[in-house]
Amino acid sequence: MFDLFKQKGDAAAPDVKALRQSLLQFIKDQLKRWEGGEGANIKGLQAFLAPPADERHLYEAALFIDDESKFREEVQRIADDYAIELPPTWTMETLFVEELPAEAVKAKDLPFALHVSTRKQPVLTTQTTAYIQVVNGEADKEKYTLTSTGGKVCIGREKKVQTDEGFMRENTIAFSSASQDKSNKFISRQHAHIEWNKDTGAFFLYPDEGGVPPRNKIKVQAEDGAIIRLQTTKVGHHLAEGDQIVLGETALLKFTYENS
């Protein structure tokens, strides 16, 4: 596997294109079994990946995770080349997991497995886990566990609050108004929330009404130093390993897939 991430002279630069080709080659080998008209029985493909946290971004790039239709098109070309007549409604699902499911076919040299779902072999269910660590500010816990099956995770001041529309909201990650920590002062009751996006196999951070200008703000710093400012409730940020999230002025959260 590690040869994929080296260029001539043993440089450490990753070769995402070579990784993509290796993934596609494995999928090709599996789809060959469905030649001869059997492809019409396929309902969808599930691609499971369990790379180390510091390599996840390479696999995300290899699978065009921000536009999954591109990787689906690559797989469709493979099917067309081998006359594997996939139905027009076939689906492609990418899932990052802690462990590859036993029911899926595993690649020999990659943290990758494939499951072909049919009427007789339904889709596999699994769960992705990530963590939010409170680095600055005082919340009711220092670390929170996120799961792909756990639903929306709301972030804000106080555990239970009433929204401007009069409805009740429960913040999973709650910063107390009674705290002496000055960072809590700038957290809104409805500041942000995190949701699992099944289509891209990732967690997304969305601002809520209290977390966009002209009120308190949200910004994210990626591991490479890039800073993203969230300006609207309609556009979320795809959370990646090591992302630091600033709420208000100084409250700081860190997103990670490692439970350290």
Same domain for 85 and 163: no
pLDDT tens digits for range 160-183 = 988 777 889 999 999 999 999 999
**pLDDT of residue 102 exceeding 60:** yes
Q: Tell me the two tokens of residue 29.
A: 């080998």
Structural domain of 152:
129-256
Same domain for 174 and 95: no
CB 157 within 8 A of CB 184: yes
CATH number at residue 228: 2.60.200.20
- What is the sign of the dihedral through the CA atoms of 210, 186, 148 and 59? positive
Same domain for 163 and 65: no
**pLDDT of residue 126 exceeding 90:** no
Same domain for 249 and 133: yes
This prediction has a pTM of 0.62
Q: Which one of 74, 94, 118 terminates a domain?
A: 118
Same domain for 6 and 68: yes
pLDDT tens digits for range 51-91 = 998 899 999 999 998 887 899 999 999 999 888 888 899 99
**pLDDT of residue 6 exceeding 70:** no
Number of domains forming the structure of the chain:
2
- Is position 251 within any domain? yes
Same domain for 79 and 41: yes
**pLDDT of residue 117 exceeding 70:** yes
Mean pLDDT, range 95-121, rounded to an integer: 88
- Is position 124 within any domain? no
Mean pLDDT, range 241-257, rounded to an integer: 93
Peptide bond into 214 cis (omega under 30): yes
- Is position 137 within any domain? yes
Same domain for 92 and 145: no
The share of the chain scoring above pLDDT 90, in percent, equals 54
> Which pLDDT does position 13 carry in this prediction?
46
Same domain for 252 and 134: yes
- Rounded Cα gap, residues 65 and 103, in angstroms: 23
pLDDT tens digits for range 197-243 = 877 778 999 999 888 887 678 999 988 899 999 988 888 999 988 99
Q: How far is CA 139 from the centre of its chain?
A: 24
Query: What mean pLDDT is reported for the chain?
Result: 87
Same domain for 247 and 137: yes
Same domain for 42 and 82: yes
Q: Tell me the two tokens of residue 136.
A: 């600055």
The three-state (H, E, C) secondary structure of 124-161, written as one string: CCCCCEEEEEEEECCECCCEEEEECCCCCEEEEECCEE
Q: Are strands 153-157 and 173-175 parallel, antiparallel or unpaired?
A: parallel
> Which pLDDT does position 122 carry in this prediction?
75
- Is position 77 within any domain? yes
Same domain for 86 and 38: yes
- Is position 139 within any domain? yes
The candidate with the shortest Cα–Cα distance to 252, out of 207, 221, 211, 210, is: 221
DSSP helix/strand/coil, 167: coil
- Is position 17 within any domain? yes
> Which pLDDT does position 38 carry in this prediction?
66
Same domain for 82 and 133: no
- Is position 123 within any domain? no
